[in-house]
Amino acid sequence: MVSLLSMVWSSFHQVRRSSPLSPEKVGIYQKTMDVGLLLPLTDFQEEVLQRDGCKVQMLTPNVVNKVVAFEMICRANEYLPDYFVFKYFLHFCCTGDKYM
């Protein structure tokens, strides 16, 4: 299975901070907010972050697109999003055009 942490780790070190952040604040990509991440996070989004050992500031726009899209698909079909089903969805999203 593809880990959310492994997907964002390569991009995480590229986050540039214009000023030092206090412990109460986090830096988030502007594009991450533009693609659909809203604060406060939903319970499902918090579960994904917690289980994969990520923090919200580690999310890139591509990862947010996948999490938000999966959650929207589930809710549109009147299902509650499930973490383990999401992991399969994420795996198929990362394998290329063969499954999309």
Which tens digit of pLDDT belongs to each residue from 32-73?
778 778 888 899 999 999 999 988 888 888 888 889 999 999
Number of domains in the chain: 1
Radius of gyration of the chain (CA): 14
pLDDT in tens, 10-40: 444 444 444 555 667 777 778 877 877 888 8
- 19 assigned to some structural domain: no
Nearest CA to 8 out of 69, 49, 68 is that of: 49
| Assigned domain for 90 exists | yes
The span from the CA of 44 to the CA of 78, in Å, is 15
pTM above 0.75? no
Q: Is residue 39 part of a domain?
A: yes
**Cα atoms in the Cβ-side hemisphere of radius 13 Å centred on 57:** 12
Domain containing 51 equals 3-7+31-100
Does 40 sit behind a cis peptide bond, omega within 30 degrees of 0 on the bond before it? yes
Contact assessment for residue 94 and residue 2, using Cβ atoms and an 8 Å cutoff: yes
